[in-house]
């Protein structure tokens, strides 16, 4: 969707129009292809794919990422406010980030419960079977 | 498994090109908080999740984000 | 969003009449039901025991299947998993070209 927006916003523009819009460098390197980069011109970086190998850390990262994406959409909506054809899909995309945030929050609570369960099971490892004593001290 | 449907999740029909706006919006495509990074992050993280719900959420949100770049 | 608006009996060969839903209307049905299923799917991932959501999911899946079928019969494939006697995949514009209304 975002690629489609960029494509339609640049469709058929001339080199001069690109340059005037601040896209001279972009036009030089990529023409009118849609190239994954930041607004500042940095090409897509795998740094964005934070994977820590820890479910809690990962889900917290995802919650923050959804909020950052929402904030970015709000800035874009502000910048594009004179063009309703652009604002409309941006608003839709912003709302999706909020739903994803909500679902990640629920998933995180589930993971926390699951990990708490595991810890209790580990405590039960101390000779449950051989020891009928409920006052296990370990 | 990737499978393409010839339809957008939300219609996009921009009457007047405006490259000035494209310069900003490209950030949500391939920028640090963009859709490409988000989809790949969730689809990579799903392998290490401990329960069915979190695996499903990362898989399914990752899939939805993959529709949006 | 109406599920049962397939009162139109037209197919590829009949003449357009004012009762036929337009391509845009059919596309909107497909998109709307698709969205509802995606949204309910995410909700059900974390609330798998919600029977009301499950019933809605079932209903929208049925509506979606019908809407896709209706669209494809007239305008050709929405995915390559829809066989036609000729390669109709190239007929309609691509979504990024504004062909999705």
A131 pLDDT more than 70 = no
**Angle formed by the axes of helices C23-46 and B52-67, to 10°?**
150
Q: How far apart are CA C62 and CA C6, in angstroms?
A: 13
Q: Are residues A36 and A57 in the same domain?
A: no
Together in a domain, A89 and A39: no
**Shared domain check, A82 and A112:** yes
Rounded (10°) CA dihedral B37, B39, B41, B45? 180
Query: Are the C-beta atoms of B62 and B2 separated by less than 8 Å?
Result: no
> Is A15 in the same domain as A57?
no
Per the prediction, chain A carries an average pLDDT of 90
- Tokens matching residue B67: 């529709």
**Rounded Cα gap, residues B46 and B48, in angstroms:** 6
For A43, the 3-state DSSP assignment is strand
Residues A62 and A110 reside in one and the same domain: yes
- Same domain assignment for residues A58 and A115: yes
- Number of structural domains in chain A: 2
Residues in chain B: 69
Q: Is residue C9 pLDDT above 50, yes or no?
A: no
CA distance A41 to A23: 10
Neighbours of chain C (3+ CB pairs under 8 A): A, B
Helices (H), chain B: 19-25, 27-30, 35-45, 52-67
- Do B6 and C78 make contact, defined as CB atoms within 8 angstroms? yes
Query: What tens digit of pLDDT does each residue of A6-31 get?
Result: 999 999 999 999 999 999 999 999 99
Say whether both A26 and A44 belong to one domain: yes
The answer on A58 and A114 residing in a single domain is yes
Among A62, A117, C59, A95, CA closest to B57: A62
Query: Which residues does chain C have within 8 Å of residue A3's beta carbon, measured at their own beta carbons?
Result: 96
Confidence check: pLDDT of A101 > 80: yes
Q: Which domain holds residue A68?
A: 51-123
Indicate if A66 and A88 belong to the same structural domain.
yes
Domain contains A86: yes
Same domain, A34 and A85: no
**With contacts defined as CB-CB under 8 Å, which chain B residues touch C80?**
4
In a domain, A132, yes or no: no
pLDDT band at C8 (very low <50, low <70, confident <90, very high): very low
Q: Taking the CA of residue C67 as centre, how many other CA atoms within 13 Å lie in the half-sphere pointing to its CB?
A: 25
Whether A38 is in a domain gets the answer yes
Judge if A57 and A89 occupy the same domain.
yes
Instruction: Please name which of C64, C18, C60 lies closest in space to residue C40, comparing C-alpha atoms.
Output: C60
Question: If DSSP codes are grouped into helix, strand and coil, which group holds residue C3?
Answer: coil
Tokens 């608006």 correspond to what residue?
C5
A103–C43 C-beta distance less than 8 A: yes
Q: What interface predicted TM-score (ipTM) does this complex get?
A: 0.94
The confidence score (pLDDT) of residue B35 equals 95
Residue A134 inside a domain? The answer is: no
CA gap B68, A4 in Å, rounded? 9
| Residues in chain C, overall count | 101
């Amino acid at each position: 969707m975002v690629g489609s927006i960029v494509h339609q916003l640049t469709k058929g523009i001339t080199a001069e129009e690109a340059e005037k819009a601040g896209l001279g460098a972009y036009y030089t390197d990529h023409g009118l292809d849609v190239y994954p980069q930041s607004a500042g011109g940095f090409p897509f970086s795998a740094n964005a794919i934070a994977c820590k190998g820890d479910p809690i850390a990962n889900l917290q990262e995802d919650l923050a990422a959804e909020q950052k994406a929402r904030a970015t959409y709000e800035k874009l909506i502000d910048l594009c406010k004179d063009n309703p054809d652009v604002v409309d899909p941006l608003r839709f995309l912003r709302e999706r980030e909020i739903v994803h945030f909500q679902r990640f929050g629920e998933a995180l609570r589930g993971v926390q419960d699951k990990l708490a369960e595991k810890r209790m099971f580990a405590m039960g490892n101390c000779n449950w079977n051989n020891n009928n004593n409920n006052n296990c001290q370990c | 498994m990737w499978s393409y449907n010839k339809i957008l999740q939300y219609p996009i029909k921009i009457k007047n090109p405006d490259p000035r706006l494209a310069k900003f919006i490209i950030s949500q495509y391939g920028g640090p908080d963009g859709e490409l990074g988000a989809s790949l992050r969730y689809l990579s993280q799903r392998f290490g999740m401990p329960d069915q719900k979190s695996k499903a959420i990362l898989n399914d949100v990752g899939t939805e984000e993959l529709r949006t770049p | 969003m109406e599920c049962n608006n397939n009162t139109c009996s037209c197919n590829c060969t009949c003449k357009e009449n004012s009762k036929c839903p337009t391509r845009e209307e059919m596309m909107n049905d497909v998109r709307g039901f698709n969205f509802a299923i995606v949204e309910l799917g995410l909700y059900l991932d974390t609330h798998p025991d919600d029977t009301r959501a499950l019933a809605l999911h079932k209903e929208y899946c049925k509506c979606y299947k019908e809407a896709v079928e209706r669209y494809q019969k007239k305008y050709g494939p929405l995915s390559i998993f829809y066989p036609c006697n000729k390669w109709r995949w190239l007929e309609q514009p691509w979504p990024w070209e504004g062909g999705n209304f």
